[in-house]
Amino acid sequence: MTEFSKEINSTFPNEKIKALLNIKFTANYFDTLGNEQLKPFKISEQQYNILRILRGAKKAITVKTVKERMVQKSPNSTRLMDKLCDKKLIERERCEHDRRVVYVKITEKGLNLLSKVKMEGLDNYFNNLSEDEARILNTLLDKFRTNDSKNIQIK
């Protein structure tokens, strides 16, 4: 991969704008790679994320909890879970005490699918980073998300 501005043949008013767009471009790049790896299994990255969350939970958890834990937040996560239910990869059950609360859990079929999915190669993209560089990158990315939204001005 070439330098970002050359890749999209563009210039930027400053390095901060370039960094913001570079982050978005790179995130999209990794999404595309992940979706390509998941294509044979007929699931999206977001569906894969839901399955991994449910596998890690080891028991039924609320739909709300799944949404909170998702790496890629999605307004259509209910629809994503509908598709996983249709494929018999997860199951839903309503709470006995509060019919508004829905629990979901991964099925044996879902666990079997996850055991076959190998997101091989994605970590190779980080081979050119040292542990210290990866730590710095994580610190910077965390810093963006903890920025006080009150200080953001839309011009």
For the domain covering 8-145, report its CATH number: 1.10.10.10
Which pLDDT score is estimated for 75?
Answer: 81
Number of Cβ within a 10 Å radius of residue 51: 22
CA atoms within 13 A on the CB side of 110: 25
| pTM of the entire predicted model | 0.79
Q: Please give the chain's pLDDT, 155 residues, in tens.
A: 578 888 888 889 999 898 889 999 989 988 888 888 899 999 999 999 999 999 999 999 999 999 999 988 878 888 999 999 999 999 999 888 887 889 999 999 999 999 999 876 777 888 888 999 989 999 988 888 886 555 555 44
Are the beta carbons of 81 and 92 closer than 8 angstroms? yes
